[in-house]
Amino acid sequence: MISKRAFVAVLFTAVALLLTPALAPLSAQEPQIPPTNPPAHPPAEPPAGAANGPQPGPAAKPASPGPTQQGAAPGAQTRRNAIGDFLATGPPPDPEAVARGEKLFVTNCAFCHGSNARGGATGPDLVRSVLVLHDEGTGKTIGPVILNGRPDKGMPKFSFTDAQIKDVAAFLRSRNQAAANRMDYKILDINTGDPKAGEAYFTAHCAKCHSPSGDLAHIASKYDAPSLQNKFLYPIEHRYPGMPGPPPDPRAEKTVTVTLPSGESVSGKLDHLDDFSVSLSDASGEYHSWNIDGASGPRIEVHDPLKAHEELLKQYTDADMHNILAYLETLK
């Protein structure tokens, strides 16, 4: 969902662009929305315990990033183009490319930038990024950032092909357009799949956990198509401890069974697991913690209810994705 705050921020920025005569050229080198607190750790490391401390999430970001760079004033034409960019009013990107790009984004970038590209604990909001707006879905300004990363700022580099970069650019463009004009987003019509085929896929792969008349009843009335697609691609965003946001759905919580050398075993909600210790709260709410010391340590089995989603994500073809979405869209 587009938050009201973010939408207002986009509007505000658009107005600021209209009113600022000395509009800086929207250069790839000078992003005008400074990201807050880039992470100190590489992406390969999953959020490990509370060591990170509370990190400001998107809520802590400046709400109104007006242009700050007093560069050479470009001509009116450039300015009008910039405003066009900002409102993302161009033609919508190819829906197939958007779908492929979304998949790439969700697997590679969502960890830091959020699965909606709206920013996460360790990566800035890309929907509001001037650099991304300026890219216009071409990959020209985004490409170098993806390929080179900004290692000193916490953005790793990726070896993407040109085609992959274009797809990610198309996806980000679609998010820009969604943010710029929620009404117009409908024209993207990402809902091009076959609902019957989607239903068959659902019965084979999803029905053991979900029911169209149970937990997913009316799901299409709850979310618009892009959000719905995001939801089944990646239901829960990676969160860091202390990051603001709604608590995770209890059905998505990880559980763990710890079997001690004595044979005794305790199960419960996973609280913390690293190389040295594991802790959980059992059904009665009691907290347990063990040190993991080498070979004699306890046996640990983690159950992640969302593992299935991650596995499925690797298997979907583009057609599957469209078909599933088309089917879910029938669950009004």
**Cβ(246)–Cβ(259) under 8 Å?**
no
Nearer to ligand HEC, 215 or 286 (CB): 215
Q: Exposed, middle or buried, 33 (CB in 10 Å: 0-12/13-18/19+)?
A: buried
Q: Name the residue among 1, 131, 113, 5 with its Cα closest to residue 62.
A: 5
309 binds ligand HEC (CB under 6 A): yes
Q: State the nearest-atom distance from the C-beta of 4 to ligand HEC, in Å.
A: 20
Q: Side chain identity at 301, as an amino acid letter?
A: E
Q: State the nearest-atom distance from the C-beta of 135 to ligand HEC, in Å.
A: 8
Applying CB under 6 A, which part among 78-86, 90-98, 116-124, 257-265 lies near ligand HEC? 116-124
Q: State the nearest-atom distance from the C-beta of 53 to ligand HEC, in Å.
A: 17
**Binding track over 242-281 against ligand HEC, x by CB under 6 A:** -------x-xx-----------------------------
170 binds ligand HEC (CB under 6 A): no
In degrees rounded to 5, what are phi and psi of residue 241? -55, 135
Query: What is the size of the binding site for ligand HEC (CB under 6 A)?
Result: 48
142 binds ligand HEC (CB under 6 A): yes
233 binds ligand HEC (CB under 6 A): no
314 binds ligand HEC (CB under 6 A): no
Among 305, 313, 318, 331, which residue sits at the site for ligand HEC (rule: CB under 6 A)? 305
Among 13, 52, 115, 129, which residue sits at the site for ligand HEC (rule: CB under 6 A)? 129
**Binding track over 184-223 against ligand HEC, x by CB under 6 A:** ------------------x--xx-xxx----x---x----
Nearer to ligand HEC, 25 or 305 (CB): 305
**Binding track over 76-115 against ligand HEC, x by CB under 6 A:** --------------------------------xx-xxx--
HEC states along the chain? CCCHHHHHHHHHHHHHHHHCCCCCCCCCCCCCCCCCCCCCCCCCCCCCHHHHCCCCCHHHCCCCCCCCCCCCCCCHHHHHHHHHHHHCCCCCCCHHHHHHHHHHHHHHCHHHHCCCCCCCCCCCCCCCCHHHHHHCCCCCCHHHHHHHCEHHHCECCCCCCHHHHHHHHHHHHHHHHHHHCCCHHHHHCCCCCCHHHHHHHHHHHCCCCCCCCCCCCCHHHHCCHHHHHHHHHCCCCCCCCCCCCCCCCHHHCCEEEEECCCCCEEEEEEEEECCCEEEEECCCCCEEEEECCHHHCCEEEEECCCHHHHHHHHHCCHHHHHHHHHHHHCCC
In degrees rounded to 5, what are phi and psi of residue 186? -55, -30
Centroid of chain to Cα 26: 24
118 binds ligand HEC (CB under 6 A): no
35 binds ligand HEC (CB under 6 A): yes
308 binds ligand HEC (CB under 6 A): yes
Among 57, 65, 67, 124, which residue sits at the site for ligand HEC (rule: CB under 6 A)? 124
Applying CB under 6 A, which part among 59-67, 87-95, 143-151, 257-265 lies near ligand HEC? 143-151
Centroid of chain to Cα 22: 34
Q: State the nearest-atom distance from the C-beta of 216 to ligand HEC, in Å.
A: 6
Binding site for ligand HEC (CB under 6 A): 31, 33, 35, 38-39, 43, 108-109, 111-113, 122-124, 126, 129, 131-132, 142, 145-146, 150, 153-156, 158, 168, 202, 205-206, 208-210, 215, 219, 231-232, 235, 249, 251-252, 305-306, 308-309, 312, 324
